[in-house]
Amino acid sequence: MPATHVHLVRHGEVHNPGGVLYGRLPHFHLSENGKKMAEAAALALKDSGVKPAKLVVSPLLRTRQSAEPIAKLFDSEPDLDERIIEPYNFFEGRKVTAATVLLRPQLVFHLRNPMQPSWGESYVSVVQRMMEAMTDAAESVTGGEVVMVTHQLPIWMVHRHLSGARLAHNPSKRRCALSSITSFEYVDGKFHEVDYREPAADLARVDRGAV
């Protein structure tokens, strides 16, 4: 019998004083507030009775740090999985504003197709790798649940895919706060979304660095 549930946990707040889009850049770590947010997510998992049989983590620093309280609380050894990493993005390391584009007209080319999107990894690709990683993780254990610490866009793509919504969307309308938990039941080889929580809502701030 595989896992009964997979819980997708978004990382906590990142130290990003420059307000750049950090994407897959390697050295962006959690802020002090972000560490508190990660602890809140770990406690929320425990308080809701989650019993992780496996902890899977994106290899970026901010997700590995966000997984530390979960690993400690449940005495779990994290498994890194590249398939749940943040999508790559042409604008990494930049502040993405209208002024940025006006000052550098050549950047407009990378905005030509928001449906794909043309500025980075396609939404279809994100869905494919996330669903593969979730299925493999669920099938790799005997009972229990799986916790995966990942990023906003991958989580939101899974949500839209499983709900039958178009993958193209307005990024400002995503329901996926920092350190939020989106939970899926796994039955007969299929995932069904069953819960969404924001355990760190009282600590939340605007995340200006998400893809």
Read off the pLDDT of residues 174-195 as tens digits, 9 standing for 90 and up. 999 999 999 999 999 999 999 9
In a domain, 167, yes or no: yes
Q: Which of 25, 4, 29, 6 is nearest to 17 (CA)?
A: 29
Omega into 69 within 30° of 0, i.e. cis? Answer: no
Read off the pLDDT of residues 76-113 as tens digits, 9 standing for 90 and up. 999 999 999 999 988 888 786 656 655 565 666 667 77
- Cross-strand bridge partners of residue 191: 186
Residue 211 is predicted with a pLDDT of 77
In terms of residue numbers, what domain contains 10? 5-203
Is a pLDDT exceeding 60 seen at residue 138? yes
In a domain, 20, yes or no: yes
Is a pLDDT exceeding 90 seen at residue 130? yes
In a domain, 210, yes or no: no
Structure tokens at 184: 């899926």
Where residue 107 sits, what CATH number does that domain have?
3.40.50.1240
As a whole number, mean pLDDT of residues 47-75 equals 97
As a whole number, mean pLDDT of residues 127-140 equals 98
Rounded to 10 deg, the angle between the 152-163 and 123-139 helix axes is 90
pTM of the model: 0.94
As a whole number, mean pLDDT of residues 45-50 equals 97
pLDDT over 70, % of the chain: 91
In a domain, 78, yes or no: yes
Question: How many structural domains does the chain have?
Answer: 1
pLDDT over 90, % of the chain: 79
In a domain, 208, yes or no: no
Residue 118 is predicted with a pLDDT of 81
Give CA–CA dist 169/117, Å, rounded. 10
In a domain, 211, yes or no: no
Is a pLDDT exceeding 90 seen at residue 36? yes
In a domain, 39, yes or no: yes
Structure tokens at 59: 């290899």
In a domain, 198, yes or no: yes
